Amino acid sequence: MMRRIYLLLAALTTASVSANDTVGVDFEVTADAAACTPALSNNGIADFGTRNAGSLSANAFTQLGTRELTLTITCESSTALAITSRDTRSSSVRVGEDTGRTIGPHFSANGGLNVAYASRLFGLGVTAENKPIGSYAILINTGSIVALDGSQNVSVDMAGSESKSGPWARLDHYLLPAAESYFYTFVKKGTVVPQAVSSVSVPLQVSASVANNLGSSQKISLDGEAVISIVYL
């Protein structure tokens, strides 16, 4: 069974005067199961502040930077679980070179990472003229995960698989998938054996990249929606 969180990304506004760069993440939970309850920090809002529309590049994609959220999962008892996700705006994904000639939303993790492969990119919706606005990606910060098994702290790594049944493998980066095509689970430190947890805090980084030539005389609002699912193993 799956328990789902709905993430809504909204409200990048570009106008002739200013741009209100806010990525909002909201959620609601289905009643698929009662074993584990998920929640997001800061009401799911990743705020990129306000900028002048003239600061958006006319010739290249503009990186909006990275903001952090925390996914917390609390279970009634210790449970082995995995995380996956999907994009409900996949048809609006647009990716291109930024001013540094790199492609895709940028993260600073592990010396720098740009996400350019479609299976890990989420769409930001379209303008009134039906122009795709750009794309974003969601990275799990595996080095800062905090987990409990009952009342005991447990040291965990993450591992990934194309199936919720495994086999599980360690990866260089843990980017949420756009089509529930990949799963991530918590594993015992130094192994690829799933670790049951009673609660876990999972830091997430959200990075967005906005296309050029979107027009600056009208309001442009992000309209992204991702769905994170908790899968019981």
Total domains in the fold of the chain: 1
Q: For residues 54 and 213, which has the higher predicted lDDT (pLDDT)?
A: 213
The pTM of the full predicted model, rounded to 2 decimals, is 0.87
Burial class (CB in 10 A: 0-12, 13-18, 19+), 90: middle
Q: How does DSSP classify residue 126?
A: B
pLDDT of 159 > 50? The answer is yes
Mean pLDDT along residues 58-73: 89
Confidence at residue 28, expressed as pLDDT on a 0 to 100 scale: 40
pLDDT at 53: 62
Kind and range of the H or E run holding 97: none
Q: What is the mean pLDDT of residues 30-46?
A: 68
Kindly report each contact of residues 27-35 with a partner whose C-beta sits within 8 Å and lies 24 or more positions away, as own/partner.
27/228, 29/3, 29/4, 29/5, 30/3, 30/4, 32/1, 32/2, 32/3, 32/4, 33/1, 33/2, 33/3, 33/232, 34/76, 35/3, 35/75, 35/76, 35/77, 35/79, 35/232
**SS3 state at 100:** coil
Domain range for 129:
2-232
Higher-pLDDT residue of 221 and 6 is 221
pLDDT at 129: 82
Mean pLDDT, the chain, rounded, equals: 82
Residue-level pLDDT at 112: 86
